[in-house]
Amino acid sequence: MKTVYANTRKRKLTQWGVAVSVILGIGLFVLYIILQDAGYRVLLYIASFCLFQGALFYGMYKLKAYEIDDEEDTITDFDSKKYPLHISQLKSATYKESKKGRFRSLFLHDTGIGFMDIHTSKGKADQIVSHLLRLNPDIEVKHANYL
């Protein structure tokens, strides 16, 4: 059974929103190049830069999804389907937290050199860890407060 843990519930809506923001950012940058008035050029440049970069970073975070396959004993993200982590070989799951205790990411490490850094919310990380612990109870769960 395959279970997908995504950072967004409405994937298509997020994809469309990111695409529209990127296109709008590129359009504002084209206006920046075309217009010669100095006052508007700075505003157009800042707006295009913020829209374009903001949409890309927002899209990279929100469109991330992780898939746990119970039959194949693997966990993958959609960027690296060629190199899955085998759940039976996982050694540790580390919650990376800031010094104040704010959750940053979940880091999975296997017995060899394989690893996966999962950037998601604390609730999704808890769901992923509980699913992994059901499949492999030998996984050591740690907390690291060094960021």
Residue among 54, 53, 49, 55 nearest 19 (CA): 55
Residue 34 — φ and ψ, nearest 5°?
A: -75, -45
Helical (H) or strand (E) element with 110: strand 103-110
Which amino acid is present at 30? V
SS3 state at 105: strand
Please state, as a whole number, how many other Cβ atoms lie within 10 Å of the Cβ of residue 88.
Answer: 13
Q: What does the pLDDT read at residue 147? A: 53
Secondary-structure breakdown of the chain: helix, strand, coil percentages, each rounded to the nearest 5:
45, 30, 25
114: pLDDT confidence band, cut at 50, 70 and 90? confident
Tell me the per-residue pLDDT of 33-70, one tens digit each, with 9 for 90 and over: 888 777 778 888 888 899 889 998 988 888 888 999 98
Which amino acid is present at 137? P
pTM, two decimals, is 0.80
Q: What does the pLDDT read at residue 4? A: 87
